[in-house]
Amino acid sequence: MKEFSAQTGGRYTYADDLENLQDLALAFAQIFDDCDNFIVSGCEITGSAISAGYVFLNGKFRYFSGATGITSWPQYIYEANFTENMPYESGGSKVGRNIYGCAIGKSVPVKQDELTGKALQSIAMPSTGGLRMKDAFIGKYALLLNPASSSQTVNSVVNFAKTINANGDVTVNKSVTIKSGAIKTEINYSGSTLNVKYTGNANNYQLSLEDGVGLRFYANGTLIATIGASAITFSKPVSANEGMFGGLVLTANNLYQGTANATSELAINVCGYNGGITQFRTTHIGNGKGKILFSIVGSEGSANIYGVTKIEAGVTDGLILKANAQKENNSLTNAISWRDSLNNVMARIGFLSTTDQVFSISVPSYNLSIMGHASVNIGPAIMEDGILLSEKYVLATNFTKELNKKANTADVYTTTQANEKFAIKASGLSQFVSTTVTAADCRSHIGAIGKSDLSSYAKLSNCLSDMATSDAQKQKIRNNIGAAGVGDFQPKLTDSGWKWIKDSLYVRQIGNIVCIQGSTKTVHSGTVFTIPNTIAAPSHAVKHSIALSNKKSWVCKIAAGQRACTVVYCDGSCGKSTEFSITYMV
Quick: pLDDT tens for 91-111: 889 988 889 999 999 999 999
CA angle (117 as vertex; 113, 118 as ends), nearest 5: 75
Residue 78 exposed, middle or buried by CB count within 10 Å (0-12, 13-18, 19+): buried
The predicted pLDDT at position 67 comes to: 94
Which 3 state secondary structure label does DSSP give 24?
A: helix
360 neighbors 333 (Cβ within 8 angstroms): no
Q: How many CA atoms lie within 13 A of 84 on its CB side?
A: 6
What residues contact residue 23 under an 8 Å CB cut-off, 6+ apart? Answer: 1, 2
Query: Phi-psi bin for 474: left (phi > 0), alpha (psi -120 to 50), beta?
Result: alpha
pLDDT tens track for 336-385: 888 898 989 999 998 888 888 888 899 988 998 989 999 999 888 888 88
Q: Which helix (H) or strand (E) holds 397?
A: helix 396-403
Q: Closest Cα to residue 546, out of 518, 576, 517? A: 576
Query: In this structure, are residues 508 and 534 in contact, taking their beta carbons and an 8 Å threshold?
Result: no
Distance CA 317, CA 379 (A): 23
Q: Where are the domains of the chain?
A: 34-141, 176-239, 499-585
Q: Judge contact between 586 and 512, C-beta under 8 A.
A: yes
Angle (nearest 5°) at CA 328 between 323 and 331 = 55
Given a contact cutoff of 8 angstroms between Cβ atoms, the answer to whether 293 and 306 are in contact is: yes
Between CA 233 and CA 217 the distance in angstroms is 11
Tell me if 214 sits within 8 A of 194, measured CB to CB.
Answer: no
Sheet-wide strand order for 38-42: 38-42, 53-57, 60-64
- Nearest Cα neighbor of 515 from 493, 491, 531, 504 is 531
Confidence of residue 140 (pLDDT cuts 50, 70, 90): low
User: Which residues share a beta bridge with 75?
Assistant: 125
Strand order in the sheet with 122-125: 93-105, 75-87, 122-125
Residues 429 and 442 sit within 8 Å (Cβ to Cβ): yes
pLDDT at 204 over 90: yes
Q: CB under 8 Å to 154, separation ≥6 — which residues?
A: 143
Report the half-sphere exposure of 321 (CA within 13 A, side-chain side).
Answer: 10
pLDDT band at residue 295 under the 50/70/90 scheme: very high
For the domain bounded by 499-585, which CATH number is listed?
2.60.40.1830
Q: How many residues does the chain have?
A: 586
In this prediction, residue 2 carries a pLDDT of 66
Lowest-pLDDT range of 114-118, 453-457, 493-497: 453-457
How sure is the predictor about 538, in pLDDT bands with cuts at 50, 70 and 90? Answer: very high
Given this model, what pLDDT does residue 414 score? 74
- Residue (of 57, 13, 16) closest to 37 by Cα position: 57
Burial class from Cβ neighbours inside 10 Å (0-12, 13-18, 19+) for residue 215 reads: middle
Cα–Cα dist 27/7, whole Å: 26
Instruction: Say whether pLDDT at 322 is over 80.
Output: yes
pLDDT of residue 298: 87
Cα distance between residue 350 and residue 388, in whole Å: 22
Its pTM stands at 0.35
Confidence of residue 149 (pLDDT cuts 50, 70, 90): low
* Average pLDDT score over residue span 322-336: 82
pLDDT at residue number 52: 95
With contact defined as beta carbons under 8 Å apart, do 580 and 517 qualify? Answer: yes
Q: How far apart are CA 308 and CA 287, in angstroms?
A: 12
DSSP letter assigned to residue 495 = B
pLDDT band (50, 70, 90) for residue 254? confident
487 φ/ψ sector (left φ>0, alpha ψ -120 to 50, else beta): left
For the beta carbon of residue 79, count every other beta carbon within 10 angstroms: 23
pLDDT score recorded for residue 279 = 85
> Is a pLDDT exceeding 70 seen at residue 387?
yes
d(CA 575, CA 409): 116
Top pLDDT among 564 and 440 is at: 564
User: Who contacts 528 (Cβ-Cβ below 8 Å, separation ≥6)?
Assistant: 520, 522, 556, 565, 566, 567
> How open is the CA angle 464-465-466, to the nearest 5 degrees?
90
On average, the pLDDT of the chain sits at: 85
Is 563 within 8 Å of 530 (Cβ atoms)? Answer: yes
Helix, strand, coil share (%) of the chain residues, nearest 5: 15, 35, 50
Q: Distance between CA 504 and CA 56 in Å, rounded? A: 55
Q: Across residues 418-437, what is the average pLDDT?
A: 78
Query: How far apart are alpha carbons 138 and 145 in whole angstroms?
Result: 11
End-to-end CA distance of the chain, in Å? 87
Q: 572 falls in which pLDDT band (50, 70, 90)?
A: confident
